[in-house]
Amino acid sequence: MAKKISPVLEAILEMNDDQLRSGLITQAQHDRITIRHFGKRGLSLSLPMSGEEIRQIREQAHLSQAALARILNLTPGYVSQLERGIRKPTGPALSLLNILRRKGVEAILSDETPGKQDGAAA
């Protein structure tokens, strides 16, 4: 069970956000708050998602199930099961799907040209 955020901690986190927005603290100072301060907030990065949501994400990116599977390092069969609701994404797959939902496929795709690895010249 996730730890409940106390009203005092909630107020401190809100004040920290306000201080950043007003320029009283730097981004680096703001970022020093650790995950233990966030409780439920820190867990919200990997929200559960339905098969329909996964299908919508894939279609918005104009990807086939096989292409999405390759990007996420999954099997096409697993992506199919996720979309049909037979299985629910967990762990790294869920995290990557949440990144796709928030930032799009460009956040995961690499700019590297195939064959150019480990700094090898073309």
The burial class, CB within 10 Å (0-12 / 13-18 / 19+), for 63 is middle
Q: Number of folded domains in the chain?
A: 2
Q: What is the pLDDT of residue 116?
A: 46
Establish if 96 belongs to a structural domain.
yes
Establish if 116 belongs to a structural domain.
no
Domain membership of residue 59 as a residue range = 47-107
Output the CA–CA distances (angstroms, integers) from residue 3 to 13, 32, 35, 48, 71, in the order listed: 16, 20, 12, 19, 34
Distance from the Cα of residue 44 to its chain's centroid: 9
Q: Give average pLDDT by consecutive 10-residue segment, the chain, 122 residues.
A: 64 82 83 61 68 95 95 95 95 88 83 49 45
Q: Are 114 and 96 in contact (CB under 8 A)?
A: no
Establish if 84 belongs to a structural domain.
yes
Q: What is the pLDDT of residue 38?
A: 59
Predicted structure pTM score: 0.57
CA–CA gap between residue 91 and residue 86 (Å, rounded): 17
Q: What is the pLDDT of residue 45?
A: 56
Tell me which amino acid residue 118 is.
D
Establish if 115 belongs to a structural domain.
no
Q: What is the pLDDT of residue 22?
A: 87
CB atoms within 10 A of CB 100: 23
Q: What is the pLDDT of residue 72?
A: 92
